[in-house]
Amino acid sequence: MTLHGQSIIAGKTVDSTGEAFTATNPATGKSLEPVFHESPVDQADAALKAADAAFDEFRAKTPEERASFLEAIADGIDALGDDLLKRANEETGLPMVRVTGERGRTTSQARLFAKLVREGTWLEARIDKAIPDRAPLPKPDVRRMMVPVGPVVVFGASNFPLAISVAGTDTVSALGAGCPVVVKAHPGHPGTSEMIARVITEAAEKTGMPAGVFSMVHGKGSEIGMALVKHSLTAAVAFTGSLKGGRALFDAASSRPNPIPFYGELGSVNPVFLLPGALQQRAPQIAEAFVTSLTMGVGQFCTNPGLVFGVQSDGLKQFMEKTSFLVKAWQPTSMLHAGISNSFDTGVARVIATQGVDLVARSQTPASKEASQATAALFSTDAANFERQESLREEVFGPSSVVTHVGSKEELERIAESFDGQLTAAIHGTEDDLREHARLVRILERKAGRIIFNGFGTGIEVCPSMHHGGPYPSSTHSHFTSIGTAAIYRFVRPVCYQGFPDDCLPQAIQNKNVTGAWRMVDGEMTKGDV
């Protein structure tokens, strides 16, 4: 596929006149062709007007038609073959095995949402039949279901060029819900983004979707993204990125004359709690799994284990010894781009300069800054110092973690209570440990969206039960997930229909249950007709 470097609006390539930029291979520092251009603000307007014009036609499509659209997207991504993998590898520095796996996740989740949409239970249809002779007042016929909210703006994430980008969970869940999508491509992988955008455009045409169902614009700065969020036709926004950038967009979405939901995933330090029984039984094994999680993807995951807490013991000493050995042996690896690499170095330098914190281990092989490489870093401190140094709670995006030595269970619980919202929290222990530390679990339920026992937050399973979100600042809406099939609920809202003739109702809540979805009828779940 020959890249053109332009915006794609309602199925058409549109020349952009903004500032020129190119993607850069972080491992070599070389610019990649072609030249891309910032999309002007009027293209944001054109894309959203096209999305709004397409909305009624698109949401009227049957579940089968929308599911076929999603499957065509997945098939088109597969058909790109190695060309897509090569471009993603060149733009991000992620190894081929990683982008290959991520492509599989991307197409699998598109097909998963197709299955969800086709089956229909996600619409949460509820029917309460009329009782006209009820005394003292008749009971009306009342029915309720989920409906799409309208055009959705999606911001591609830097660290997942496929799975949380142009055709990632945000896009396919919004399309599955019946919402047109306008994507703001991430400037770190614009070529990969264009390849996927062209697949979506072709899939829309092939399956008979309205042209405005999908558009993609480019932007290296904040102007085009802010214009998309502030546009009066935008109904919801999905974002994965930094706390600073996400908060600015969240504030813009909230301060509009008509505020809209901004579903931001903004980052997390993902505390890990090592309990005594587990440390006594298998400290070296926990250390190996920890370093694998810490360095996975060069630590560039929002679920990276950035803070560890353990009660002082021989087991914790063994954990530190094994972890130190593995961190020293870890080879420097290129990060996604020079900006992230520089930010990581700044974050590590800040931790090194923090009073009462010791640098325990760092990769022995020096990093090549020309290749935007990072070295792994392990720090330690005590509980009293951790509680004094607020800066230790700030995310360092990369393979760096601080281990805090605590003196008691009560100290462990006090530290857990002091955290702001987190995407994940992990507990390593035995079953007896878990019973002994039941209060710690209760505390973490208030702090995190996902609690992991004897594991780590990296390596998210895409499934109906997954919740990827948490109290602020880890995300802006703790009730909703950005991963798994429940992600679709970000882009729908309930509408109640009272007293309507059956043939004038949406198909999902008519008397005949065409799709065989589960529905609540008079308070009972059933797949039958009314």
**What pLDDT was estimated at residue 17?**
82
Say which residues have a Cβ less than 8 Å from residue 2's Cβ, sequence separation at least 6: none
Q: Does domain 7-21+32-266+480-490 have CATH number 3.40.605.10?
A: yes
Is-contact 484 134, C-beta < 8 A?
A: no
Query: Which whole-number Å values give the CA distances from 398 to 293, 302, 332, 374, 401, in the listed order?
Result: 11, 9, 11, 8, 9
**What pLDDT was estimated at residue 285?**
98
Is-contact 252 507, C-beta < 8 A?
A: no
**The residue type at 193:** S
- List pLDDT tens digits, range 207-264: 999 999 999 999 998 999 999 999 999 999 999 999 999 999 999 999 999 999 999 9
Span 272-453: which CATH code?
Answer: 3.40.309.10
- List pLDDT tens digits, range 459-475: 999 999 999 999 999 99
With bands split at pLDDT 50, 70 and 90, how would you rate the model's confidence at 355?
Answer: very high
- List pLDDT tens digits, range 382-416: 999 999 999 999 999 999 999 999 999 999 999 99
Peptide bond into 180 cis (omega under 30): no
**What pLDDT was estimated at residue 51?**
99
**What pLDDT was estimated at residue 300?**
97
**What pLDDT was estimated at residue 39?**
96
The rounded Cα 398 to chain-centroid distance in angstroms is: 17
Predicted confidence (pLDDT) at residue 14 exceeds the cutoff of 90? yes
Catalytic residue among 302, 395, 411, 413: 302
User: Mean of the per-residue pLDDT values for the chain?
Assistant: 97
Catalytic residue among 38, 90, 91, 265: 265
Q: Please state the domain extents for the chain.
A: 7-21+32-266+480-490, 272-453
**In the β-sheet with 152-155, what is the strand arrangement from edge to edge?**
12-14, 7-9, 214-217, 181-184, 152-155, 236-240, 262-265
Residue 179 catalytic?
Answer: no
Residue 288 catalytic?
Answer: no
Q: Could you give the CA distance from residue 414 to residue 443 in angstroms, rounded to a whole number? A: 9
**In the β-sheet with 448-453, what is the strand arrangement from edge to edge?**
358-362, 377-382, 400-406, 307-311, 272-274, 422-428, 448-453
Predicted confidence (pLDDT) at residue 16 exceeds the cutoff of 90? no
Predicted confidence (pLDDT) at residue 359 exceeds the cutoff of 90? yes
Mean pLDDT across the stretch 7-26?
Answer: 94
Q: Compute how many other C-beta atoms are within 10 angstroms of the C-beta atom of residue 7.
A: 29
